[in-house]
Amino acid sequence: MKHAALLLLSALTLASCSMPRTPAAPAGQVTYGLNGATLYTFGLDNPDASRRSVTITGLSSGDTLVDLDVRNTDGMLYGFASSGRVYMINADTGTATADASVTGTTLVAADFNPQANRLRVIGANDANFRLTLNAAPIPGTSTAGAQTNDGMFSYAAGDANVGKNPELVAAAYTNSFNDSATKAYSAATPTTLYTLDAGTDSLVKHVNNTTTMPALPAGNFSDLTTVGALGVDVMVGKTGFDIAGAGTAVLSRAGASSTDLYTVDLTSGKAMMKGSVKVTLSSVALKLQAP
């Protein structure tokens, strides 16, 4: 009888171990994370308990996603391949649908400008582009698929890092809200572009270059000004960065088997440990809320 009871207990234990984990509801800021062809979704306040994953499908042969962002005008998640191809991603199923492409560079990072409804592209070798998507809404000042060359990123005169070659690995704009209900965006709402420089492990703020001749297009965001040290060793392929709303900034830094999550003070540049998630992530994106 005792032997039978032990067998039953063992069977129940094995059954419970083989049952799929049911994720908890996300607490805090809903966050998307990228690991190769796997998309994770979790709450920033309970990342492991709420973590769920789907496989990303529909990418063109040879494409590898390197960054994620949520577009404010449609509330959809997008993935960006190093080839320059942009994909709309269904966050529930992982299905990716190709949209526009940026050419002439290897894409390192990208983020949507919520004021202009265009995509800022950080390319290899300091390349700086803007791209208009094919998916509606299309800004009245551009056309579907249009690409603008905004010159090269460089530190502004007078900055502590002037003359140094920037190593930008992640980018995010402030004042990004979910405007999908109206499909509208306010060109009057101010926004600021921030990036992370792996060469200095610093938060960087972008301003428009108005001195280069011949003149660069307005809205180029090509001049860099150092905000401050992050206190985190950031590097390409292991660091994510995004901003939701007016200025909720989140940084991720992948290690050997987990990813540390930080909030970032946009005034000082200081990153503050928030928690960690037991998967390695190359990029993160924050789900946007309505204004």
- Name beta bridge partners: 197: 168, 202
Residue with token string 């970032």: 264
Sign of CA dihedral 184, 187, 188, 194: positive
Residue 64 is classified by DSSP as -
Q: Where are the domains of the chain?
A: 29-286
What tokens does 36 get? 């190769």
What tokens does 154 get? 């460089």
What tokens does 243 get? 């901003």
CA distances from 36 to 64, 69, 248, 280 (A): 7, 15, 25, 10
Q: pLDDT tens per residue, the chain (291 residues)?
A: 455 544 444 544 544 455 567 999 999 999 999 999 999 999 999 999 999 999 999 999 999 999 999 999 999 999 999 999 999 999 999 999 999 999 999 999 999 999 999 999 999 999 999 999 999 999 999 999 999 999 999 999 999 999 999 999 999 999 999 999 988 776 667 899 999 999 999 999 999 998 886 889 989 999 999 999 999 999 999 999 999 999 999 999 999 999 999 999 999 999 999 999 999 999 999 999 998
- Cis amide bond preceding 214, omega within 30: yes
Q: Which CATH architecture is the domain 29-286 placed in?
A: 6 Propeller (2.120)
